[in-house]
Structure 1
Amino acid sequence: MQNGSQEQKSNRDTQSSRRSVLKGSLVAIGMGGSLSGVAAGKGGKGKKGGGNGGETGYAGAGPYDPAGEGECSDGYKSQVFSLWAGQDNDAGTVTLSSDKDNIYVTYDTNESADLKEVHVDIYSTADAVPDKRPAPGQADYKAENLYSDAYTVTVPFADLGETVECGDDYYVIAHTALASDDGRDNDEDADSDLSNDGETAYAGGSKSALEDGKGAWFYVAEYTIVCCLHDIKGSVYTDTDSSGSFDEDESGWGGITVTLEDDAGNVVATTTTNTDGTYTFGDIPGGEDYSVVVATPDDYVGTQNSGGYEITDLDADLTGVDFGYTEQADTDFTYNVEADYKQETGNIKFESTSEPALGEDGRSETDTFTFTAGSEDSELTVETKNQDTVSEMITPGETVTMSNGFDVTWDSITGNNDGTYTYEFTVTSDADNTTGALSYVAFDTDAPEGSISA
């Protein structure tokens, strides 16, 4: 693999308007890996049948297509061009993409032949594109002896004397020389018709050559930097009526930290709300998944998006990503005790008689439940009830998450030196106001009948 260099540059004439890659690096990731570049081959007479091996022709003599839209990644949209062998044989695609630092030229053949060599030149204006086909071997970016189905060339904007700007156009001569792999790798083109074996190929989205129709053919791919950058906006507010929506008579909350995370939980950006509670994350790359997160302030409970706001495949500006909080009241919860409530030996139920109950209106709250029994259990069944009744097995020191929105922790079991044991549990409600409050919590023990008290 070879890189373009200053020495190569000095050995050939260049146009002053050309933005050449002088220090460019070429990234090759093995057979079938990711590559950047253009492959070029020698001119010659065409051959009958499936291809135009080594054919010399004129720009535009064969079909060419406008760029097809690719996908947004790292904030920029890729463009896909056909890779034409011998002017009009389909040999695969070349995808041009970018991030804030580089342009990537990615070849992907259709198994009619391998990439033997790739050569890439890039120009920042249409006028800088040469009239005659550049000699492939003098390309600023090149790689040889590849024999691979795919390859990506990396061209830094810094080496072009450029910085990435939305809407900028670049003109890419992406050439490759195609060949049979001759057993060098194990891909499927070894068994295909190899119709493009020995061909020279260019990525074509536009065309360029001598106006009088003389000279070797070549195509030029016109690549426009299309930015996929979006804003995410919202507010943090005091939800005085616990309605879960930002009403006109409610106030925004300034000075609150808002965090944007990627789908792996890594922090992408942080910001602080303005005095009116508003915040903005600007120029966020599209095509990715994100979460907007706000830590619940002390002595408050969340009423809107308290668990975070999930964004899947960001593809537009977002507004109204709001977070509501209401002050947590100091509430004493009252639960009456009923033993043998199931008419079964050794069961005890704590049933709410207070309003609100634990977890009312989406509050995340904790209460402690203690009872004494005449046996020492190593496990028992706990049951919680709101809209749904859920039972789980629990052991000492364990916390179980009930599917109806409660965490139950078996805090301790202590012997009382009189043949009885004291059990202590805590129950914590989630901050989701749709799951409802704790109607009752019950424990199924092995204690003898009549031996339970609370």
Structure 2
Amino acid sequence: MKKWIPILLIAALLLAALPVGTFAHTADEPFVVTLWAGQNINAGTVSVWNDGDNLYVKYETTDGWELLETHLAVATNPDDIPQANGNPIPGQFPYKHEDLGGVTVDLYTIPLVDIPASAEDTIYIAAHAELEKPGECEEIPTTWVQGELGSVTLWAGQHINAGTVTVAIVGENLVVTYETTDGWELLETHLYVGTDAPTDSAPGQFPYKNEDLGGVTSDTYSILLSGLGVECDGTLYIAAHAALQKLTGYEEDGTPIYQTETGWGAGQPIDDGTGNWAVYFSVVLPCGTEEVCKLEEETAWGAGIDFPGKNWAMYFPYEIQGVEILVEWPEGGTITVAFEDLQIASSSDYDYNDWVADIETLATFWGTEAEHSDLLRIDFTITPEARGAGYNHVFHLAIPAGTFGCNGTYTLTINGTSETGAFYASTDNDFVVIPWTYNALPGTLTNTIEPPGIVSHYPNINNTDPAAPQHQPYVPPQVTATLSIEFSELCPFDFSVYDPYNPEKMHGEGLFFDPYLHVVNWNGNINQGDPRMLTVPVDWMWPEAGVAIWKAYPDVTAGNPPTFTAEWWVDYNDLVYEGKP
């Protein structure tokens, strides 16, 4: 019977189970509907969830039901599910697993871009299955048990053991074999086989006979069982007669002398009133068995909304869940910022190694891999690399007002010590991430003069003596920092408008933040747009101390300030620092 429940009510109830703007449905906590077999038999579940790339639909049966076939349709409009006159056509569904052979679990993985669907889109799923369930089982006969059924003595003249009569099943035949012993030979054999005991002891009337055997010691009958009318575990009655002879000597002229006798396979007398000693015996014909189970077979659908046709098929809605999508920016996730800390003057050496730091940026968006524009969180990791300066500095990471459209909470952690506060998108947010660059990389010209064993180009370095004091060992950073901003709502943000390596914006203008350097000694800042700041890829090798950047990088033009071309950092010589492990 068709379930007449208002469609809008069902849709509302189903969608009420879905989350709003969050990520609820996972493999561990999926969206679940009942798998109905034959309209009203609970045969299991259909579970649905998604990650950033794929939609997952899993059939699972219970209570002994097994899957023979599944057919699945997924569409952004229920009218796009294959159907005729309002009735779905499972054989035309785009996804199908046939010949499943009775499994209890079946999983589909469908790329979201194939649907296509993005976060918060509602899709419609028709989940069809053909099921079976083993019912009551019973043992039924199959075929004859092969082998010997029995053997009796072949008596000659009532009291002489002349051999045996053996009965066996070979294939579909009953095989009866006479075999003589002690010199006895077969002249004739007559055989009765039937489902009733014989009532006539006259061998000549028996249905099977071999005459004129001429004195053999073995004779075999092979009789098709199907012609005997016997059933499994039925009884066959057998009367096995033989005319026998045995050589006992020779006449004086050499003529053989034989003893002749009538023989019967041992058994009980044939009661025909003649009074002779004819006998018969019986054998039972067993059959093998196998377990045969009745099967229930049903069509099943995932519970939901009725199709408009006359059958009881259903579909159900599912809202694509946004998930956390991690995005490294720029590609690879880390940029290097390098500074020349002298005031712009003719005395500036432009070696861009007075402060060098890596900034790793990892953004957490909400959405799908194919489409994500809502930011949940952004994390910065600041790692100092070089300090080729005599000056001290304070390193800042500033986020100008209006960069993000949402408020939130920040956490700044420097060497394990954290502070948390409010982040207001409408105001400038200025974070001191390395309070004193001298503490982060102690010493003078730190990580800009080559360590022992590497040729240095710093003036007056003794390169012939690896232990010369002017060489400086590599110093790992003593201070690092992380800055995390957690937004209070989904925050639209587009990285594509920023390019830190744009040849026209390589002085920080291509960043969405300002990693500026405050120079304590002359109390000034080097901000985005200042030619003394460079943004370069993370694997960039900075010049050695006192080496102007155009001397280490031939594609840079000397000047005050120097002039840079696109990807100028690709081509360099041995005047760069090579001491980093």
Rg: which structure is higher?
A: 2
TM over 0.5: no
TM-score (norm 2): 0.22
